[in-house]
């Protein structure tokens, strides 16, 4: 599902709903206890630069994951991004360095490594240690 959506607070946006069928991706021991029709539903409301995403599981109806995301043109310097002091006090700030954080060897692909990519179109790249302090423009994804 992919359709325009209007919210009284956030304005115009786009609503999408996707189902990801996972039974064939599970190991055989897990398939023995999981229903044959096992899927995760992703519902997303995109009011860029703000999005809401919810994940639910077909055989665990009370289980859900709710993610709010806001994108800003900064280096992670906004301390009250979601205008909710109670949540802000409980939060944990985790900076993810897409170029220099360790990646387990089994997931690493040199062809996808930002340390080795340079955009021919914009001339940006390659990302080196300290890139967040020296590159412009930069966008932060707050979750």
Q: Report pLDDT digits (tens) over 95-127.
A: 888 888 999 999 999 888 989 998 899 888 888
Which pLDDT belongs to residue 43? Answer: 98
Asked if 74 and 62 count as a contact pair (C-beta separation under 8 A), the reply is no
What are the contacts of 137-141 at 24+ separation with CB within 8 A?
137/73, 138/73, 138/74, 138/75, 139/71, 139/72, 139/73, 140/71, 140/72, 140/73, 140/74, 140/75, 140/76, 140/77, 140/78, 141/69, 141/70, 141/71
For residue range 40-88, what is the model confidence (pLDDT) as tens digits?
999 999 999 999 999 999 888 899 999 999 999 988 888 777 776 555 5
Higher pLDDT, 131 or 17: 17
| Confidence band for 26, pLDDT divided at 50, 70 and 90 | confident
pLDDT at position 47: 95
The mean per-residue pLDDT over the stretch 127-133 comes to 87
pTM over 0.85: no
pLDDT for position 84: 67
> Pick from 43, 45, 89, 52: which is nearest to 70 by CA?
52
Cα separation, 98 vs 111, in Å, equals 14
State the pLDDT confidence band at 19, using cuts at 50, 70 and 90.
very high
pLDDT of residue 108: 92
What value does the mean pLDDT take over residues 27-51? Answer: 90
Report the pLDDT value the prediction gives residue 133, as an integer from 0 to 100: 86
């Amino acid at each position: 599902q992919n359709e325009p959506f209007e919210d009284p607070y956030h304005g115009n946006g786009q609503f999408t709903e996707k189902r990801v069928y996972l039974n064939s991706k599970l190991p055989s021991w897990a398939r023995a206890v999981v229903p044959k029709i096992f899927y995760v539903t992703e519902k997303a409301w995109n009011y860029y630069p703000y999005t809401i995403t919810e994940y639910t599981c077909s055989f665990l109806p009370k289980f859900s994951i709710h993610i709010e995301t806001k994108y800003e043109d900064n280096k992670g310097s906004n301390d009250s991004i979601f205008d909710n002091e109670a949540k802000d006090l409980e939060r944990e700030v985790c900076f993810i360095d897409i170029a220099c954080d360790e990646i387990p060897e089994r997931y690493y692909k040199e062809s996808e490594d930002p340390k080795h990519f340079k955009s021919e179109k914009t001339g940006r790249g390659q990302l080196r240690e300290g890139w967040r302090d020296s590159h412009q423009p930069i966008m932060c994804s707050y979750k």
